Structure 1
Amino acid sequence: MPRALPSLRTLLFRLHWALGLTAGLVLALMGVTGALMSYEEAVIATANRDRLAVAVRDGLPGLAPGPLAARIEAQAREAGQERRVAALTLANDDPGRSVVARFARPRAGGERPPSVYADPYDGTVLGPMRLEAAFATVEHLHRWLLIPGEGKGWGRTLTGACALALLVFLGSGLFLRWPGRHGWRVWLRPNLARPGRARWWSLHAVIGTWLLPVYAILALSGLWWSYEGYRAGATWLLTGQFPETRPAGRMPERKAPDLGPDGSPAVDAAWAAFSATHAARLVTVTLPAPETATIRIRWHAAEGSPRNEATYDARTGALVTDRRSDEAGLGTRIAQNMLEVHRGRFFGAPAALLFCLAALAMPGFFATGATLYWLRRRARRRRIAENPARSVEAVGRS
């Protein structure tokens, strides 16, 4: 007599545990690394607190980005290092806070030089950023598992597949727990008094139910960096427009610094125009490389607020675009702040903490799921030993 086909519930159950024993391990690693990255800025600030503060010069304004970058690069050359400042991060509301200078990758290839803290008044380098390299390793482990090729290698595809697996976990787990099978009390309150496998199932299923919305946001936002097609489609759904594509080829390199209308470097003209029209708290100025067409300035109006962005012409310093989150729709704000959505910060500080705790719980789901699998297999072997005549039927049900 032919064996009956397994039911949909059985198929989803087998898919759930099969992915749990494979993708679940990767997701556990991604959860731990993601939780570490949730408060990266705070940890780095604590480790570098002696380099964050500078003496305030009353009545003396800080240097403009152009001369500030030039002085930092000159000190690197004096140390025998040829480096170009790619971006400067300034605390506009705190005159006693140092500037963070990030260097560009060498044109010949290799690792990006470590960022440094600098005095905003005279450009004196105060020292490199501690823990930056450690968090860079954590980020590479989170995004592509340290597999060679970084964003262009198989690691990006693998972590993206695991994010898809997380969505499968959520959907299959929700189906297997549908309220028609269990009462709401069983759904929402873990019963740790139950013995054996029932206790582990209650812990695994109930906590997963509570955290389901968080994991859905983590998976859907994480796919943003895994697949270009997904990012384009999500951008269209959120904003009604497809993401801008960079033109092919490179712009002719500029041989000399471009000057603004008043004769100052274009980046300083852009900075002067930005400072006169924007009340910003934290600002990151991306200095133009010889082949780039625009100067990008990203800024936050207040702590925890969405990111805004303005761009200026790299040759003249004239304003090109000025995108402010408070003037955009919800979908546009989400698309422009997807990293903050992924971290939970987009929804406020309590949500950010919840997202961090949910990420830390991922190894627990792998551990409880593996425990349930092992207990189930052990029970099946015990049943077979007690009744060998039904061993074939027991194998078919497992």
Structure 2
Amino acid sequence: MRPSLLKRVLFRLHWLAGITAGLVLGLVGFTGGLLGLEAPVLSWLNPALHVSAEGRAAQTPDRWIAAARAAMPEHAVRGVAWEGPEHAVGVRMARAGARPTEIAIDPYSGAVLGTERGTAFFATVEQVHRNLAIGPIGKQVVGASTALVFVFIASGLYLRWPRRARSPSAWLRMNTAAKGRGFWWQLHAVVGTWLLIPYLVAAATGLWWSYDAYRNAVNGLAGVPTPARRGPANDAPAVASLDAAWTSFLREAPDAVRASMATSTAADGALEIRYQTAASPHDRAWDSLKLDPVDGRVRSREPYAELPRGRRFVASLFPLHSGSWFGVPGRVVAVTAALLMPLFALSGLWMWVLRRRNDALRRAAAPAPQELDARTA
């Protein structure tokens, strides 16, 4: 195929993908950026959930659960989330036909602090991000649009390939003196080049949640069996007491800074507590303790660092997707890239409008065929 023809074909492909998937990706990207801001926003909205020991001894999980049950007697307790000594404990509650919720408890006084403000908003944002809040059909639309990111990147790179391809400035420097359509092209092409790697990582990891075949292939390459899909909320009976297991956990993991504990046992009868320390590499790097629910005896220990490489890779997919794998700088880059995603849909659409307008002006300025014949006679 001749280069000029290939360029026209790729331009049409880039344009067609843009008008079909660009707006969806803009929405998915923007909501993903909002989700990246969830933790600091919720922390700001809920100052009452930051507590201080002030010389008080923390109560035990059984007391926390009793307080939560008294506040929400129609709900069943599903688990306990501990976020360190200076944060309220979250008791996860569920009821048939209702969205699960988490009630905050002061770990020292046992006082009910209520539910966290802002969580309903971010739950809706997450649904829009995952499936446009319209269920399985939306999930397929998001997945197909995410797959088209690779088409955008490949065709976009070819279309803007500079003559001095080895020069970084030819790729990365923006011409701030550009006007009109040239200015919008600078925004579209140069900013897109700046964010190319974050978008590649986000798309490659995002497809893991969109398509079973893709997820199974990634899990297979990593040597990780694909877990069975979760059914309804776990209806296993809650253990009589969590206190013995919690006391053992505090003794066995004194450097833990956050932990998550179920209120029912696994198939082997053990109670699992997953936790992280200050040295955990990212927010999905969970160490695990399995404890006897009666006497707190440690049945097994599974440090994240000792997991097979494939399992650690799969556990890292969400931190890679959100940027948290790279710490605070990674989060900043990922959130910025996500919030800027609508820029490409809007700038591409506006360039198309300007192109159509310029073409119409050229046709209007061109002499009519009769006029041209009269001039040449």
TM-score range, shorter chain: 0.7 to 0.9
Partner of 2:132: 145
Q: Determine which structure has greater relative contact order: mean sequence separation of CA pairs < 8 Å that are 6+ residues apart, divided by chain length.
A: 2
Alpha carbons of 1:246 and 1:227: their partners in 2 closer, same or farther (altered >3 Å)? closer
In structure 2, the partner of 1:26 is 24
Q: Percent identity?
A: 35
Alpha-carbon spacing, 1:292–1:251, altered in 2? closer, same or farther (3 Å) = farther
- Write out per-residue CA displacement over residues 281-311 of structure 1, whole angstroms, 9 at most, x where no aligned residue: 1112232289996644332212873221425
Gaps of 5+ in 2: 370-377
Which whole-Å CA distance do the structure 2 matches of 1:231 and 1:360 have between them?
A: 26
**Is the counterpart of residue 71 in structure 1 residue 67 in structure 2?**
yes
Quote the Cα distance in structure 2 between the aligned partners of 1:126 and 1:167: 46
Question: 1:302 and 2:278 equivalent?
Answer: yes
Is the contact made by 2:291 and 2:300 (CA closer than 8 Å) also made in structure 1?
no
Q: In the alignment, what sits opposite 2:76?
A: 84
Partners of 2:198 and 2:331 in 1: how far apart?
10
In terms of mean alpha carbon deviation, does 284-293 or 220-229 score higher? 284-293
* 1:162 aligns with one of 145, 166, 191: 145
Pairwise CA distance, 1:179: 4.4
Question: Deviation per CA, 1:187-217, whole angstroms, max 9, x where unpaired?
Answer: 2211121332222212211111111000001
Q: Counterpart in 2 of 1:374?
A: 353
Query: How far, CA to CA, are the matches of 2:60 and 2:83 in structure 1?
Result: 13
Q: Assess if the C-alpha contact under 8 Å between 1:143 and 1:156 holds in 2.
A: yes
The correspondence of residues 286-325 of structure 1 with structure 2, limited to 5 A, is 286-288=262-264, 295-302=271-278, 305-306=281-282, 307-310=285-288, 312=290, 322-325=301-304
Deviation at 1:349, TM superposition (A): 0.7
Matched, 1:120 2:107: yes
* Aligned residue in 1 for 2:187: 203
1:280 partnered with 2:248: no
Say yes or no: does 1:219 pair with 2:203: yes
Give the corresponding residue for 1:110. 98
Name the structure 2 match of 1:271: 246
What is the deviation of 1:90? 1.3
Aligned mates of 1:240, 1:348 — CA distance in 2: 27
TM-score by length of structure 2 reads 0.84
One-letter code aligned to 1:112? P
AA in 1 matched with 2:327: G
Which residue of structure 1 lines up, in the alignment, with residue 340 of structure 2? 361
1:320, 1:224 → 2: CA distance? Answer: 33
Change (3 A) 1:155 1:297: farther
- Find the counterpart in structure 2 of residue 396 from structure 1: none
Q: Are the aligned partners of 1:296 and 1:312 in contact in 2 as well (CA < 8 Å)?
A: yes
- Which has the larger displacement, 171-180 or 358-367? 171-180
Are the aligned partners of 1:156 and 1:226 in contact in 2 as well (CA < 8 Å)?
Answer: yes
Q: 2:87 aligns with which of 90, 93, 97?
A: 97
Q: Give the CA deviation at 1:269.
A: 3.8
Distance 1:155 1:293 in 2: 39
Residue 294 of structure 1 contacts residue 311 of structure 1 at CA under 8 Å; is this kept in 2? no
Aligned equivalent of 2:43: 45
Give the root-mean-square deviation of aligned CA atoms. Answer: 3.2
* Structure 1 residues not aligned, in runs of 5+: 260-264, 391-398
Is 1:332 the counterpart of 2:332 in the alignment? no
Per the alignment, residue 393 of structure 1 pairs with: none
Contact 1:252–1:291 at 8 Å: present in 2 too?
no
Residue identity in the other structure for 2:247: A
1:110 and 1:292, CA in 2 relative to 1: closer, same or farther beyond 3 A?
A: farther
Change (3 A) 1:314 1:194: same
C-alpha contact (below 8 Å) 1:72/1:124 kept by paired residues: no
SS in 2 for 1:21: helix
Secondary structure at the aligned position of 1:299 is classed as: strand
Three-state SS of the structure 1 residue aligned to 2:90 is strand
Tell me the matched-pair count.
Answer: 363
Residue identity matched to 2:72: A
* Secondary structure of the corresponding residue to residue 225 of structure 2: coil
Contact 2:239 2:264 in 1 (8 A): no
For the 8 Å contact 1:201–1:372, the answer to whether it is kept is yes
Q: Distance in 1 between matches of 2:234 and 2:43?
A: 37
Contact 1:251 1:293 in 2 (8 A): no
1:14 Cα deviation after fit: 1.0
State the distance in 2 between where 1:388 and 1:220 align.
51
Q: CA contact under 8 A between 1:32 and 1:360: conserved in structure 2?
A: yes
Rounded to whole Å, the distance in 2 between the matches of 1:172 and 1:284 is: 45
TM-score between the two structures when normalised by the length of structure 1:
0.80
Q: Distance in 2 between matches of 1:338 and 1:5?
A: 38
Contact kept, 8 Å, 1:258 with 1:314, in 2: the verdict is: no
Partner of 2:375: none
SS in 2 for 1:56: coil
Q: Secondary structure at the match of 1:101?
A: strand
